[in-house]
Amino acid sequence: MNMGKIAVLIVDVQKALVEAHPYREEEFLQELKRVADGARKAGAEIIYVRHDGDAGDELESGTEGWNIHGAVEPKPGERIFDKNYNSAFLETDLEEYLKEKQITDLILMGMQTEYCMDSTCKAAFELGYGVVIPEGATTTYDNEFMSGEATVKFYETKIWDGRFADLMSVEEVLELLAR
């Protein structure tokens, strides 16, 4: 795979969402941490996206649940973009920032698979970014129609891979970052 300048984008891994126990919660956090550590070691930028909920919402700005989860919290100097919509690009300065930094490719991780991850993946693709999704680095919850596991696998293999993104194992992503 031929990639340009890479950044890791971690979407909505916020305390309230993780504490609601999504599919593969512990494994998900471990995979995110492995990729983030690999990115830092390689000198790749890590960018966080945080959803701002309405007043009284579990993700209300400034509340404990709104904070990035401690397992993957930003290091000093790492950027956080706050958003009000599913897409990390809609009405944020993310695209402008990526252009300023000459970032051409994104390693996309986070939650929820069928909402903010899907919207952000498709928006990044439409804006011309190369997108890689590490397998197992997205999660969601069971719902009345599908289990969290089925939702994750469906989006990873049937929606994103080969269409909007390249699905790669975490090991492959770590090798990509180390190049």
Residue 116 designated active-site: yes
From residue 28, give the alpha-carbon distance in Å to each of 14, 58, 65, 91: 13, 21, 18, 28
Would residue 34 be called left, alpha or beta, if left means φ above 0 and alpha means ψ between -120 and 50 degrees? alpha
- Contact assessment for residue 123 and residue 90, using Cβ atoms and an 8 Å cutoff: yes
* Tokens matching residue 85: 């919509």
- Output the six-digit token pair for 173: 């992503």
Identified catalytic residue from 10, 107, 116, 174:
116
Written as six digits, the tokens of 58 are 């579990």
* Positions marked active-site: 116
